[in-house]
Structure 1
Amino acid sequence: MIKKLMGSIREYKKDSILAPIYVTLEVVLEVLIPYLMSMIIDKGIGEGDMPFIIRIGLILIVSTLFSLGFGVLSGLHAAKASAGFAKNIRKDMYYNIQDFSFSNIDQFSTSSLITRLTTDITNVQNSYQMIIRIMVRAPLMLVFSLMMALSINSELGMVFLGAIPFLGFGLYLIMSQAFPIFQKVFRTYDKLNRVVQENLYGIRVVKSFVREEHETEKFKSVSKKIYTDFTKAEKILAFNSPLMQFTMYASILTLSLLGARMIVSGSMTTGQLMSLITYASQILMSLMMISMVFVMVTISRASAERIVEVLSEDSDLKNGSNPIVVIPDGSVTFEQVDFSYTNDPKKLALKNVSFSVKSGETVGIIGGTGSAKTSLVHLIPRLYDATGGTVKVGGIDVRDYDMQTLRSEVAMVLQKNILFSGTIKDNLRWGNPAATDEELMKAARQAQVDEFIQRLPDGYDTYIEEGGTNVSGGQRQRLCIARALVKQPKILILDDSTSAVDTRTDSLIRTAFKQEIPNTTKFIIAQRVSSVQDADKIIVMESGSVNGIGTHDELLATNTIYQEVYYSQTKGGKIADEA
């Protein structure tokens, strides 16, 4: 895990190294200061040597100023290193997510990925800053102060050797109890983000069904769970402070008692006792710092594990050793294709699917809910890989293509039509960033959305809100179709993408396809028979299998499922006698 995370330091290695170096110099000077003060008390004040006091005093002032300067520099470099480290982790995670296949994404919920990209990275960033600064400063301070204390008086120095194991054991107990709770808290954070995301995304549905109170209760329930778990963890961590204070005060009292006896007996000077008490404070303060780092590391460890899960997730879709970068044509062939979302042969979404489509043909796909129509077309641009059998495009197995090449030649308009915040032009150019205004307008005309755009005050420069909330469902569908057409693909897939469009507009879109893009292979998934009845062939799906293939007339004469769908839509559910 640590090795994986350290790979994101990269250009901030220099800052990550300089911060501990400056911290080391700061600690050396800090440890020197009590020794200089004891010299002033014992030799300067005790013997009345004013020149000695001035000389050591100047050294003390310079040491203090340099210690302060090194502390500032270490803080600046630590802040830069931790912020850069977090930036690189966020970049690495985001880039890795972009390479995920749909099956990889299915393993992580959207809300969980958002939590990992925000809260978890912030925790790791804070922890890293403490590690390269405080975690270096505290042990060095502990070791150097202990060495100085032992050099002054080895008998009193043994007080610290007794305090350290006691404190270490107490910290271990606290951390071991708190860590599992923090793991649970971050999983609950995922639920909280999911609740908020669902509420905001579906706010219109919430209000139309007057379910605000229900959603509020959901939020309160998850939020209370986080509060309860955090409170429980913080109660455990709260023992850290009294444990530290008890150890610190017990050590100082023991030093004062034993030191006073030594001063009376003449085996120790006042300056030495004062410096020992100062070193005691430094030692115990360093232990407190270490305990604070352990608290932060305990919190961030759970976050780090969640981050590494995303960084370590490899896409199960990869290019071969010599991927093909040219697609000959838009022909599509399925050869005994099986498909499972879980790669389990016993849980197949598609079973023994075989058919062949020539380049430029229009293929309608129809079937009931859950018949795997969408699963079928997802295999064409290789959003998933077939579990068994072969999917070919242009006569070549899709697994032999360079994925970017394949997907650039296959345009999909999915069931969930998503528009991004930006102008209409910006959205349409997702299909082709280099497309001219004329090409955008041509695609819009084919999708029967140009007239709507022209009526807008800013035309193609009209701003689209996030998710396309300021346009209707039908307008959003047609804009998404236009975006796909801008790609000028060899294969166009419409996954129930005209469901919100009236039948006349649907017909005009299909006519435009036939006239304007005759060489593009078109797959049209639809619930309405009218949307596919002019297709060159229609595939009827049932429970993940092909129930029938043929033209509208052929299926109407031979296929029971197609007959039922057709007559239910054209004759109110009554199958005509001539069927």
Structure 2
Amino acid sequence: MFKILKNLKPFSTMIFFILLFIFGQAMAELALPTLMSDVVNNGMMQGDTGYILTYGGYMLLVALGSSLCSIIGAFFSAKVALGVGKNLRDMVFTRVENYSLHEFDKLGTASLITRTTNDIVQIQTVLVMMLRFMIYAPVMCIGGIVMAVSRDKGLTVILLVVIPVLLAFMGAVSLAVMPLFKSMQKKLDRLNMVLRENLTGIRVIRAFNKLNHEHNRFKDANGDLTNTAIKANQTMAVIQPVMMLLLNVTSIAITWFGGWRIAQNNMQIGDMMAFIQYAMQIMFSFVMVAVMFVMIPRAQASAERVNEVLEMEPEILDPEERRPSGGKTGFVAFENVSFYYPGAEQPALSNITFEAGPGEVTAIIGGTGSGKSTLINMIPRFYDASQGAVFVDSINVKDFSQEELRNKIGFVPQSAVLFSGSITENLSYGKMNATEEEICHAAEIAQASDFIADMPDGFDTIIAQGGTNVSGGQKQRLSIARALVRKPEIYIFDDSFSALDFKTDAKLRAALKNETGNAAVIIVAQRVSTVMDADQILVLDDGELVGMGTHKELLQSCQVYREIVSSQLSEEEMNTYE
């Protein structure tokens, strides 16, 4: 929590005024019982109406001043807390943007969403309480004790009995509720994860008729969080009735013993009334502090989770200096590259070496889990090589800034991702200043013009969240068009033709040849028909490069490739292509 409090520094001037106004509020509230005591002793008991009106007016002014200080202090406290929350969300979002895929996998998407939203809200809530009460409560407590003693020292014995009882009770509540608040955040993570899986996987859930199963999963996660929250709130709810009981017992005791002292002429009625008010203020100040310290553990748990995000250093960092260019634009090379996923005993890739030059099409084929996607993810540095080196334009990718490296690449992922907004906004995502002509040309190359023209608003048609209002093939073609608009030096297609029919696939690849003539094109594909025209084909098997060459060469030299071809083409077709 102390690390989070460092973010208060930009608001130091505002915090100074908060403390000033809160101090003013506390002093005004401490003055009111004394003024009331004077009105009773010197006005009401003496029958002096003028004194009552004069000091009653003073009480109204002090009360008005206290209210103004309270309102201004609360306003600035909320403003500071929300400002810190805004800065924290920005810091968390910026840090997460720089994470490698490994860090994403380590923390989890659901947890990152909770940390960016709910956890920061918890921090904001406690910050408001701290800014309002960290000065107010101590001043009210100390000032109340001083003023109570000044009214009557004898009655302070009652406070010496009640305050320890109150502190013991609040301590017991704090110990009971702290673990509950800490566990609530983890259970909220679980609930978010189940909800996210249900929303993103609704088609699969319905296809397998698992609605009841998923409903029960959500019900269990929701019930677990609810039960913990109810238990925590039930424990917190005990505070108010017990507090009111102690306040009432204290008031009765003060009235009882105060009445006895008044009868003995050792105390005035106004002083007893003031003493009761000061006792209430002292006890409420202890409750404020106790409630704040009960809430702090939940904020502390949230702060630790936020700090974990902020302190986790991304594995992939930009270099301090960039090496000079080797002069080969659109050139990709792997030299003895091996890669291990964190914690894995076996490598996902082993000793991969190949080159892909501008104007060449390099295709990668292999069985499921052979390492195809892992290989291409290393070009834009989504992962870094465990051994060996990856080069772009004859420069090690680690010597580029990530922004500069990725500006050279047009990447079409295996699962097409579209963003909410118009088709034009999606296609110009990689080149914000793209002209209408460039966008239309890219859509035509990607074989997307026809279905876009059939849409009600053409290129202004709004894509729903997740692209749910377009088909899988349409998604892929829009993703390909988005990469084409960028006109990069290197095109990477990660199984980006799988949802296309054979006719559209062939037409698109034919159109791509003219469009990508000066760029390196790397295609990951499952279909032999997609890769057989490539300048070179890389055959991966269990993370190893077991074949490299043209279609005809690999049919003669690579058994794995021949098996893949034979599983998709008849013997007659194989002979024809040979």
- Shorter-chain TM-score: what band? over 0.9
Q: Distance in 2 between matches of 1:326 and 1:99?
A: 25
Q: Distance in 2 between matches of 1:91 and 1:138?
A: 32
Q: CA deviation at 1:307?
A: 1.9
Q: Distance in 2 between matches of 1:155 and 1:451?
A: 93
Q: Tell me which residue corresponds to 1:260.
A: 259
8 A contact 1:327–1:393 mirrored in 2: no
Q: Distance in 2 between matches of 1:235 and 1:53?
A: 45
Q: Tell me which residue corresponds to 2:105.
A: 106
Q: Distance in 1 between matches of 2:282 and 2:572?
A: 86
- Of stretches 137-146 and 202-211 in structure 1, the one that deviates more from structure 2 is 202-211
Q: Tell me which residue corresponds to 1:434.
A: 433
Q: Distance in 1 between matches of 2:339 and 2:175?
A: 44
User: What amino acid maps onto 1:461 in structure 2?
Assistant: D
Q: CA deviation at 1:369?
A: 0.8
Q: Tell me which residue corresponds to 1:515.
A: 514
**SS at structure 2 position matched to 1:53:** helix
Task: Please list every run of 5 or more consecutive structure 2 residues that lacks an aligned counterpart in the other structure.
Answer: none
Q: CA deviation at 1:136?
A: 3.0
Identity of aligned residues (%): 37
Q: Tell me which residue corresponds to 1:416.
A: 415
Q: Distance in 2 between matches of 1:359 and 1:164?
A: 81
Q: Deviations over 1:133-158 (max 9, x none)?
A: 13432222111111111222233224
Q: Tell me which residue corresponds to 1:233.
A: 232
8 A contact 2:182–2:297 mirrored in 1: no
Is 1:487 the counterpart of 2:486 in the alignment?
Answer: yes
Alignment of 1:437-476 (within 5 A): 437-476=436-475
**SS at structure 2 position matched to 1:548:** strand
Q: Tell me which residue corresponds to 1:15.
A: 14
Q: CA deviation at 1:64?
A: 1.3
User: What amino acid maps onto 1:428 in structure 2?
Assistant: L
Q: Distance in 2 between matches of 1:193 and 1:32?
A: 50
Q: Distance in 2 between matches of 1:314 and 1:7?
A: 19
**SS at structure 1 position matched to 2:334:** strand
8 A contact 1:240–1:291 mirrored in 2: no
8 A contact 1:337–1:390 mirrored in 2: yes
Q: CA deviation at 1:456?
A: 2.5
8 A contact 2:323–2:395 mirrored in 1: no
**SS at structure 2 position matched to 1:505:** helix
**SS at structure 1 position matched to 2:330:** coil
Q: Tell me which residue corresponds to 1:335.
A: 335
Q: CA deviation at 1:246?
A: 4.1
Alignment of 1:276-315 (within 5 A): 276-315=275-314
Q: Distance in 2 between matches of 1:236 and 1:378?
A: 51
Q: Distance in 2 between matches of 1:325 and 1:223?
A: 56
Q: Distance in 2 between matches of 1:390 and 1:66?
A: 70
Q: Distance in 1 between matches of 2:202 and 2:61?
A: 63
Q: CA deviation at 1:452?
A: 2.2
Q: Tell me which residue corresponds to 2:318.
A: 319
Q: Tell me which residue corresponds to 2:362.
A: 363
8 A contact 1:325–1:405 mirrored in 2: no
- Of stretches 72-81 and 274-283 in structure 1, the one that deviates more from structure 2 is 72-81
**SS at structure 2 position matched to 1:182:** helix
Q: Tell me which residue corresponds to 2:384.
A: 385
8 A contact 1:424–1:461 mirrored in 2: yes
Q: Distance in 2 between matches of 1:161 and 1:383?
A: 65
Q: Distance in 2 between matches of 1:134 and 1:192?
A: 33
Q: Distance in 1 between matches of 2:572 and 2:252?
A: 93
Task: Compute the TM-score of the two structures, normalised by the length of structure 1.
Answer: 0.94
Q: Deviations over 1:387-431 (max 9, x none)?
A: 121111111110001110100101111111111111111000012
Task: Compute the TM-score of the two structures, normalised by the length of structure 2.
Answer: 0.94
Q: CA deviation at 1:295?
A: 3.2
- Of stretches 455-464 and 271-280 in structure 1, the one that deviates more from structure 2 is 455-464
Equivalenced residues, count = 576
Q: Distance in 1 between matches of 2:323 and 2:466?
A: 35
Q: Deviations over 1:60-103 (max 9, x none)?
A: 22111111111121122222222222222222222222222212
Q: CA deviation at 1:482?
A: 0.7
Q: Deviations over 1:153-177 (max 9, x none)?
A: 2332243244333322332232223
- Of stretches 453-462 and 219-228 in structure 1, the one that deviates more from structure 2 is 453-462
CA RMSD of aligned residues (A): 2.3
Change (3 A) 1:572 1:26: farther
Task: Please list every run of 5 or more consecutive structure 1 residues that lacks an aligned counterpart in the other structure.
Answer: none
8 A contact 1:491–1:522 mirrored in 2: yes
Dislocated runs of 4+, deviation >6 Å: 572-576
Q: CA deviation at 1:559?
A: 0.9
**SS at structure 1 position matched to 2:209:** coil
- Of stretches 331-340 and 284-293 in structure 1, the one that deviates more from structure 2 is 284-293
Change (3 A) 1:40 1:573: farther
Alignment of 1:18-33 (within 5 A): 18-33=17-32
Q: Tell me which residue corresponds to 1:91.
A: 90
Q: Distance in 2 between matches of 1:143 and 1:215?
A: 56
Alignment of 1:38-437 (within 5 A): 38-323=37-322, 328=327, 329-342=329-342, 344=343, 346-437=345-436
User: What amino acid maps onto 2:151 in structure 1?
Assistant: I
Q: CA deviation at 1:9?
A: 3.9
8 A contact 2:325–2:395 mirrored in 1: no
Q: CA deviation at 1:244?
A: 2.4
Q: CA deviation at 1:7?
A: 4.2
Q: Deviations over 1:28-82 (max 9, x none)?
A: 0111010111112222333344443333222222111111111121122222222
- Of stretches 557-566 and 307-316 in structure 1, the one that deviates more from structure 2 is 307-316
Q: Tell me which residue corresponds to 2:556.
A: 557
**SS at structure 1 position matched to 2:338:** strand
Q: Distance in 1 between matches of 2:157 and 2:498?
A: 81
Q: Distance in 2 between matches of 1:413 and 1:81?
A: 43
- Of stretches 309-318 and 462-471 in structure 1, the one that deviates more from structure 2 is 309-318
Q: Deviations over 1:116-148 (max 9, x none)?
A: 222222222222111111343222211111111
Q: Deviations over 1:350-388 (max 9, x none)?
A: 222222222332111111111111111111011111112
Q: Distance in 2 between matches of 1:325 and 1:111?
A: 41
Q: CA deviation at 1:289?
A: 2.2
- Of stretches 422-431 and 109-118 in structure 1, the one that deviates more from structure 2 is 109-118
Q: CA deviation at 1:259?
A: 2.1
**SS at structure 1 position matched to 2:350:** strand
User: What amino acid maps onto 1:337 in structure 2?
Assistant: V
Q: Distance in 2 between matches of 1:178 and 1:327?
A: 63
Q: CA deviation at 1:470?
A: 1.2
Q: CA deviation at 1:12?
A: 4.0
8 A contact 1:138–1:286 mirrored in 2: yes
